[in-house]
Amino acid sequence: MKPIQRSSRGPRKSARWSDATTIAFTLFFFLLAALQFLMFQSPTTEVAYSDFQKLVAARQVENLEVTPTQIRGTLRMPGAASLLPASDATAAKNHGEPWRFTTTRVADDKLVESLSAAGIRYTGDVDSAWPGMLLSWALPLLALFFVWNLLWRRSGGLQQYTQMGKTNAHILVQDETGITFDDIAGIDEAKAELRQLVAFLRDAERYRRLGGKIPKGVLIVGAPGTGKTLLAKAVAGEASVPFFSVSGAAFVEMFVGVGAARVRDLFEQAQAEAPCIIFIDELDALGKVRGAGLTSSNDEREQTLNQLLIEMDGFKSNSGVIILAATNRPETLDPALLRPGRFDRHIAIDRPDLIGRRQILAVHTRHVKIAPEVDLNELASRTPGFVGADLANVVNEAALHAAEADKPAVDMSDFDEAIDRAMTGMERKSRVMNAQEKITIAYHEAGHALVAYSRKHCDPVKKVSIIPRGVAALGYTQQVPTEDRYVLRYGELLDRLDALLGGRVAEELIFGDVSTGAENDLERATAMARHMVTRYGMSKRIGLATVGGSPEQMASQGLDRWRGSFCSDDTARLVDEVIRTMLDDAHTRVSATLATQRSTLERIARLLLEREVLDQQMLQEAIRGVSTERAPETAAG
C-alpha cells in the first residue's frame, strides 16, 4: 500500500511568487497615485471673470479652451501680471511663464465677439466628469482590487470557508508511523488487547464467518506520558492500514455547526478508506459530560459531541472502521460515549511497575551508547512512579550530560544526575545561601533522613542533598522503594507521615524556632492525613463512611451541586479536628525519636555541611557512628 496523505487545505502556491506579486502590485499602486497627483495638481491660477475680460482686451491670453462652465488657457507673462491682482500676479511670477489659468464662465453673449476681435485662438469642449473620475477613482480602486484579490487567494480565499467543515485529520500508514508493538514496552496487557484489533484488520473474514463483531471503539485510558498515542500508532503500524489522527480540540470552533460538519467529514473519509483506524487524541476535550458546566446546553461543543454519537451509531461493526480514543480524564466523559455499541472496550494503561520500567529503559537505550557498568535494574528501582515519557527524558538527559562532559559512553553518574534533575529540577549553583540558611537546611534534611531510617515501613533513603535544585527545592531527601506497592496499611501510612514531619521537628529541636522550608512537607502531610480520614476509613471517630465527593461524582453532578453536598457542617468540623489530632500525634512521635537521637542528628547535619551530598552508604555509616573519612564526592553525585 502506498503512503496516503490528505489535508483539508487546498494546494499551496509558491510563497516566493506571491511575495513578488504583492510587491509589484503595491509599487504599481503608488506609481499610479503619484501620476494622478502630477496630472491633476499642475500649477494653475484662478482668476475672476472681470480680470479675464481685461486680459482678453489686452490680448494677454492664448490657447483658450471654452466649456459650458469653465474657461481655461495660458497667460502671456510678464505682461499679464500687471492686469492681475497683487496675490495672483505674485504667484504667476514665481512660477515663470507661461502660466495656466482658469475662470468660471458666466453668461456673456459677447464673449465670442471679444475673442475674435482680439485675435485669440480658442476651442470649445463639453464638460465630462468621466475621465477625471476614471483616473482619480476607478484606477486606484482597480489596483486595490488586484492587491486584495491576491491576498485573499494567498490566505485560502473562499476555500477557507468552504473547507471550514472539513476535518484536519491526516491519513498515515505504516511507512510514515514507523512504530510497531516492538517499540512499546511495559504495557504487555494493553498490547495483548489490541492485537485482536490488528488481527481483525488484517483478516476480517476470519471473524465475520463466525458472526463475530469487532468492537466499534476502543478507549485507551492512562496518565499523561504512559504511551496512549504511541500505542494507537503501533496498531496502525502493525495492521498497515490508513490511520486518521485528530485531536478532540480540533473539532470545536467558534462558528456554530463547524464541529459537527468536521465529524461528518472525518467519518466519510474513513468509510472511503476502510479498513482503517480513526484515532481521537484527548477525547475529553470533545466528550465532556453534557450539562455539567455553566454554559448553555446547546453550545457548539455539545452539538459536536451529539454528532459524534450519531456517527458512531451509523456505521456497522464489520465495516472495517475502528475508532481509538485516548484520554487521561475518563471521569469527565459523557456516559453516552462509554456505553456498549460505541466505546465497547476500555483499556487502562497504568504507570509501569519495576519490570515495566526495566523494559522501557531497554527500549530507549537501544540507540544510546551506555557504559558496561550501567545497571538498568538499578535505574528502574530508582524511578518509581515514572511513566514512559519520563524514562525517555531521563535517558536523553543522561546522554546529553555525558556528551557535555565529553565521555565515550553514558555511565551511572550521568543517569544519577538525570534522575535527580527529573525529580527535583536542575541544580542551582548560582543560588548562594548564607551560612545560617545552609545550617538550617542541613538539619532539616538530616531530620527527614533520620526519621525515615528509624521507621520500619519507610522506603530506604538513597540520597540526601543540600544543593538547591529546581524552583524552590533548597535540599531533598530521596527515598527509593524496594518494590512496587499498591496497598498500604495504616501503620505504613503513619510511618510516612512521621518522615514528612522529620524536617520541621528537627528545626524546632535544634534552633527552638521554625522556618518556611517545611511548606511542601506540611501540605503533603495534611493531604495524606485527610485521605486517611475521609477516603480510607482509618479514623475511629469518623468511622467507615467516606466524606467528600470523588472526581467522578464531581464530573457527573457538576461542581456547583457537588460542593458541600456529601457531608454536614458538623462532620466537616469533626474531620478537621481528627486531621489536626493525627498530625499532632505524629509530631509527638517524631519529637521523641529525634530527642533520643540528637547526637546522630547533629552528626548527619555536620557531614551534610561538609560534603553537601550523602549517598546511602555514607548515611548509614553516619547513623551508626562509623568513620566516613574518604575522598569527597562532587555535588552532582
Residues designated as active site = 445
C-alpha cell at 350: 497504568
C-alpha cell at 66: 471654452
Nearest CA to 352 out of 379, 386, 396, 381 is that of 386
Residues 6+ apart with CB under 8 A from 275: 201, 204, 239, 241, 320, 321, 322
Report angle CA 225, 227, 233 to the nearest 5 degrees: 140
Please give the sequence-ordered ranges of beta strands (E in DSSP) within 466-603, or none if there are none. 476-479
Contact 57, 118 (CB under 8 A): yes
User: How is the beta sheet containing 613-615 ordered, strand by strand?
Assistant: 476-479, 461-465, 613-615
Q: How many residues are there in the chain?
A: 637
Residue listed under C-alpha cell 466499534 = 216
Kindly report the number of other CB atoms within 10 A of residue 85's CB atom. Answer: 10
Indicate the burial class of 289 (C-beta count within 10 angstroms; 0-12, 13-18, 19 or more): buried
Contact 479, 466 (CB under 8 A): no
One-letter amino acid identity for 123? T
Residues 6+ apart with CB under 8 A from 297: 290, 291
Report angle CA 195, 196, 200 to the nearest 5 degrees: 115
* 183 φ/ψ angles, rounded to the nearest 5 degrees: -85, 0
State the Cα–Cα distance between residues 549 and 70, nearest whole angstrom. Answer: 90
Residue 92's alpha-carbon distances to 41, 84, 89, 336, 508, in angstroms, are 15, 9, 5, 88, 99
Residue 104: strand, helix, or coil: strand
**What DSSP assignment string belongs to 106-155?**
---TTHHHHHHHTT--EEE----SHHHHIIIIIHHHHHHHHHHHHHHHHT
